Amino acid sequence: METSETKINDIVMLGLTGKLDALTSPPLQTKLLAAIADGEKHFAVDCAQLEYISSAGLRVLLLVTKQLRSVSGKMVLYALKPHVKEVFDLAGFSAALPLCGSQTDALASFRH
Q: What is the dihedral of CA 53, 3, 22, 43, to 10 degrees?
A: -70
Amino acid 15: pLDDT: 98
CA 5 to chain centre: 12
Other C-beta atoms closer than 10 Å to the C-beta of 84 total 20
Q: Which domain holds residue 70?
A: 2-109
User: Shortest CA distance to 5 belongs to which of 27, 32, 30?
Assistant: 32
> What pLDDT, on the 0 to 100 scale, is given for residue 112?
65
**Total structural domains in the chain?**
1
DSSP 21: S
CATH number, domain of 11, equals 3.30.750.24
**Helix-then-strand count for the chain, H and E:** 4, 5
List per-residue pLDDT tens for the chain, 112 residues long: 999 999 999 999 999 999 999 999 999 999 999 999 999 999 999 999 999 999 999 999 999 999 999 999 999 999 999 999 999 999 999 888 999 999 999 999 998 6
**Cα 90 to Cα 56: distance, rounded to the nearest angstrom:** 15
